[in-house]
């Protein structure tokens, strides 16, 4: 029988973050968001509500958008994590980032990394029309834009007319 | 808004999980996708001493078909079930309900079984389990037991699970021929439902209702079947008069106790009546 580990207050983890291997011993209660922000200094991932409502903390884990405030760092052990820094080209902006800029998809920008990461983790074909785009974005809150600019940006980046 | 300190263990076998639960009883909590538990930790509403993460337990990761029904293991994500073509064929109600559970980002981590074990009164999946007649397979170091969905939900966030037990899987009987529907009212898509209803229905050759099951969620302390409404509709043709009566009986018989900033019990009962009308109408169409 496989040995049963003793419950521990800190755990050694290894994960890929934006293509780099990260090995750390983390406190078991450390949230993935805090590991990214405080220890790896990847502060593009924002924390709004810290209880899974606002979506500002969205990152990709093994390619799927998840809330990094609802995931313990230890749960990401062995996973591939991508943050907004990982989808931003060295120079300039990605097409989606450029579309947000062009269509007033952001004002203060606090929510923007979360929107971008949600969008980075889905297939455009699965969200063929405006209604399904709005449905997709329902898990991310924006206090500034009123969402119209964000929807415009996505429709433009995905070559849809609106 | 950070979790309180706890000890963490990630056993690689179900026996390991059971042993930790047996040794630590009420001080230990099972961690699956964490979409309900981690918010409770962040709010410090839960302060378990030990979290037992089941992510590495192979015996809990199955999504299989057996006897024409589904067996869903405790670590299977909602997203995996939502996107399964087999699930859509065998248990279309489950496929229809899952998009209503939280948001995409929650469903990528959250599990079907975890949501059922958490027993939030406003959650969709416990009501789906009730409508489909699901069976809970529960295990502890001292053995197995099966609990039918109707005996499982005891109160808000309270189930028949003992502290040393884990819900290892939920079995959903396949009902490919039944018509199904689920509807809810929530402040925002993905939010907790103020009121909702899940249903399944079969019709006879002449179009009359043969068999119907309806369950409300978000309305009272636990998901609830609507036996009076089901009896009323059985054998009848779905006419506007019947639908009026269905809505009226739902309003009159729903055990509506939930009250929050969004709605009081009377409003919830009224919404439930309307939703049941629409669900029955859609299923009979
Ligand atoms: S900070 Fe994670 S959802 Fe709000
Ligand atoms: S741009 Fe300010 S919250 Fe969205």
- DSSP string covering B87-143: HHHH-HHHHHHGGGSS-HHHHTT-BHHHHHHHT-TT-HHHHHHHHHT-EEEEEETTE
* Helix-helix angle A148-157:A130-137, to 10 degrees: 120
Q: By residue range, what is the domain housing residue A73?
A: 10-86
CATH number where A70 lies: 3.10.20.30
ipTM, two decimals, is: 0.94
pTM for this predicted structure: 0.95
Residue range B227-248: mean pLDDT, rounded: 96
Neighbours of A94 (CB within 10 A): 16
In a domain, A3, yes or no: no
pLDDT in tens, A7-45: 889 999 999 999 999 999 999 999 999 999 999 999 999
H helices present in A73-140, as ranges: 95-102, 112-120, 130-137
Q: Kindly tell me if the per-residue pLDDT of A109 is higher than 80.
A: yes
Q: Which of A8, A50, A135 sits opposite B1 (nearest CB)?
A: A50
What distance lies between CA B139 and its chain's CA centroid? Answer: 19
Instruction: Report d(CA B9, CA A29) in Å as an integer.
Output: 12
User: Would the CB atoms of B8 and A66 count as touching at under 8 Å?
Assistant: no
Torsional sign, CA B230, B232, B235, B238: negative
Same domain? A103 vs A78 = no
**What domains are defined for chain B?**
7-53 (3.30.43.10), 58-172 (3.30.465.10), 179-284 (3.30.390.50)
Torsion angles phi and psi, residue B229, rounded to 5: -70, -40
| Segment (H or E) for B209 | strand B209-217
Same domain? A105 vs A146 = yes
B188: contact with A, CB 8 A cutoff: yes
Report the separation in Å between the CA atom of A140 and the middle of ligand 1, taken as the mean of its atom positions.
Answer: 9
| Segment (H or E) for A59 | strand A58-61
pLDDT in tens, B17-38: 999 999 997 899 999 999 999 9
- Mutation site, B104, B108, B192, interface A, largest A CB count within 10 A: B104
What distance lies between CA B259 and its chain's CA centroid? Answer: 20
CATH number where A118 lies: 1.10.150.120
């Amino acid at each position: 029988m496989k040995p049963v580990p003793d419950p521990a207050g800190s755990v050694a983890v290894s994960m890929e973050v934006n293509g780099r291997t990260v090995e750390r011993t983390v406190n078991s209660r450390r949230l993935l968001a805090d590991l990214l922000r405080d220890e790896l200094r990847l502060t593009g991932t924002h924390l709004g509500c810290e209880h899974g409502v606002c979506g500002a903390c969205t990152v990709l884990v093994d390619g799927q958008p998840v809330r990094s405030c609802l995931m313990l760092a230890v749960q990401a052990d062995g996973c591939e994590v991508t943050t907004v820094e990982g989808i931003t080209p060295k120079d300039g902006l990605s097409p989606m980032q450029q579309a947000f800029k062009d269509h007033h998809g952001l004002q203060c920008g606090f929510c923007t990394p979360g929107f971008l990461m949600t969008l980075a983790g889905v297939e455009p074909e699965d969200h063929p029309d405006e209604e399904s785009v709005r449905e997709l974005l329902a898990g991310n809150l924006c206090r500034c834009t009123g969402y119209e600019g964000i929807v415009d940006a996505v429709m433009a980046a995905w070559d849809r007319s609106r | 808004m950070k979790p309180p300190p706890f000890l963490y263990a990630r056993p690689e076998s179900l026996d390991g999980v059971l042993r930790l639960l047996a040794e630590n009883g009420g001080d230990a909590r099972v961690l699956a996708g964490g979409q309900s538990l981690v918010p409770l930790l962040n709010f410090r509403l839960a302060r378990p001493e030990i979290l037992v993460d089941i992510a590495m337990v192979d015996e809990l990761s199955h999504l299989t078909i057996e006897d024409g029904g589904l067996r869903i293991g405790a670590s299977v994500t909602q997203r995996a079930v939502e996107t399964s073509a087999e699930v859509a064929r065998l248990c279309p109600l489950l496929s229809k309900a899952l998009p209503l559970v939280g948001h995409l980002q929650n469903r990528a981590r959250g599990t079907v079984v975890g949501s059922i074990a958490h027993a939030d009164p406003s959650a969709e999946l416990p009501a789906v389990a009730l409508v489909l007649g699901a069976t809970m397979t529960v295990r502890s170091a001292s053995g197995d037991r099966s609990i039918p969905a109707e005996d499982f939900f005891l109160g808000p966030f309270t189930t028949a699970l003992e502290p040393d037990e884990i819900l290892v899987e939920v079995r959903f009987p396949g009902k490919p021929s039944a018509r199904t529907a689920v509807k809810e009212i929530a402040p925002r898509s993905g939010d907790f439902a103020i009121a909702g209803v899940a249903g399944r229905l079969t019709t006879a050759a002449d179009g009359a209702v043969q068999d119907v099951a309806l369950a409300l969620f978000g309305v009272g302390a636990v998901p609830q079947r609507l036996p009076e409404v089901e009896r009323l509709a059985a054998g009848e043709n779905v006419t506007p008069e019947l639908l009026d009566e269905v809505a009226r009986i739902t309003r009159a018989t729903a055990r509506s106790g939930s009250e929050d900033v969004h709605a009081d019990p009377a409003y919830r009962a009224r919404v439930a009546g309307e939703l049941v009308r629409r669900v029955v109408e859609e299923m009979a169409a």
